[in-house]
Amino acid sequence: MRFIQVGVQALGLLFFCTSCSLKHESEVLDKLNLPENWGQAASANDLADIARDSDEDKAYFIEEFNWVKSLFGQNFHHLTKQAITSNINLNKQYYSIQQSKLSLTSENSKYLPVLNSNFEFHRNKDRTNLKLGAASAMPLDVWGKLGDQVKQKQFTYWQNIIRYQSQQFDLAMQFSKLHLQVIQSTKLQNLLFEKVDIAARKLNSLEKQYKRGLVNLSAVYGARNAYRSAEANLLKEQNQLAQLNRNISIIFGDYPQLHEDILSEFKLDDSLPELPKVLPAQLLEQRADLRLAWLNILNQQTNVAIQYKNRFPSFSLTLDTEESSDELSKLVKFGDITWNLKAKVFAPIFAAGRYKRAQQSAEIELDKVELNYLITAYNAFLQVENSLSKKQLTEYEIDTAEILWANSQQALRLAENRYHQGLGNYATYLNAQNALIDNEIKLIKAKFNHITQYLNLYSALGGDWFDSAQAPESSNNNSKGS
């Protein structure tokens, strides 16, 4: 009867502790204040799919990078994957995935019983004593504390995979921008060669006129300064191009050397995929920083539960056996082994409120992590809004540069006609040529800046909507300034 009473009391304690289990539902998504043009925000269930979508088997080339293929062609797409394979930082992060996977496996093994053995040998003048024993222990995860600890390791494992995928995307974006910068620098270098040639011709003309007494010496010195300035600008652009090529070597995990032939020609297209009219609030599901911040919330929620369950009793089973003899042959007699099975309960009774304060501290930390998620989300929205503004500005800059380029073409045509008709001087004709090149440089910079800001916006949006949009094939059309 007494045994039944104790069993009923134990079951009652178990039911009470289970009913008091802490389950904190995050309300951070309800605090997000989104404008109407952002559409409907993602739900907690949508964000829960983050974990299920994080799979090590997809860690390599998790993105097909269709935007790379659409903008730069198949060859550059192949180079991008080659860079991802060779990059040292990416390989380093992959080792972090392996470490966290081993840690997760080790944490899962805590469910299994542990078996240890011991052997002792004692000898003195009178006798010899031998002891052989074995002990096994297994924790009973009554409150799910071990399961919560496994969850924390799982979250860390998923976070490392997300970081690895994010670094792949960032590397592809960095490589694409370097590609654009190299081609822009190459085009500018060719134009600066023309500017040096024009400055040389103008200086030569003014020196001849000075010898004839047609111009003063100040005009010659001004032309010499212009020539040296044109040479300096050309040298600066050549140095910039060399630095860009060395940066490409680093991406491929190689010594920083020149690879001038690694990139193919790229011609800008005036038409890029249009943005959706309603910006995707699914940005919360796509951006790596927001996915990591959400997993931090889940991880801290689990930590709160662990600190709460530390206040409950812990249960374990132990099984041990030990035999002793003065002879090794008599030490073990199968069928005559004594063993002990023990059930242990460890319950904290008085710890000066340490466990309660640890739980309260974990809850405060959870509030901080949720606020950090809001900060990360609003910074992401800020990046998108700023990228949108910059993209619109670059569109205006292109329109302005095209007008200036067209006007300078007309001015050059008029100056050339007047020069051949004897109505204008040679210096005016050279100045018109120089002005046309200056405006062409502005147009090239505006166009490359436009697609760079377009890539920045794509990156800010999390890199998902582009692949589903109507992306153009790699342009084969010659556009102004390309």
Structural domain count, the chain? 1
Tokens at residue 358, please? 């640890």
Q: Are 297 and 368 in contact (CB under 8 A)?
A: no
Contact 297, 284 (CB under 8 A): no
Domain of 76: which CATH number?
1.20.1600.10
pLDDT of residue 403: 92
Amino acid at 341: L
Q: Are 478 and 269 in contact (CB under 8 A)?
A: no
pTM above 0.95, yes or no: no
Answer yes or no: is 230 within a domain: yes
Has residue 473 been placed in a domain?
A: no
β-bridge mates for residue 321, sequence order: 134, 339
In a domain, 132, yes or no: no
**pLDDT at 11 (0 to 100):** 43
Which value, to the nearest 10 degrees, does the dihedral of the CA atoms of residues 85, 91, 97, 101 take? Answer: 90
Residue 342 lies in a domain: no
Strands 128-140 and 314-325 come out as: antiparallel
DSSP string for residues in 334-384: TT---EEEEEEEE----STTHHHHHHHHHHHHHHHHHHHHHHHHHHHHHHH
Q: Which domain, by its residues, includes 258?
A: 29-38+66-86+141-312+347-467
Residue 98 lies in a domain: no
**Domain for residue 482, yes or no?**
no
Nearest residue to 69 via CA among 444, 479, 467, 468: 467
How far, in whole angstroms, is CA 269 from its chain's centroid?
A: 28
pLDDT at 473: 40
Tokens of 100: 């966290």
Query: What's the pLDDT at 470?
Result: 38
Q: What is the pLDDT of residue 235?
A: 94
Ranges of the chain with pLDDT below 50: 1, 3-4, 6-21, 23, 51, 56, 58-62, 466-482
- Compute the residue count for the chain: 482
Q: What pLDDT, on a 0 to 100 scale, did the predictor assign at position 42?
A: 58
Domain assignment of residue 249, yes or no: yes
**Residue 373 resides in a domain:** yes
pLDDT of residue 479: 36
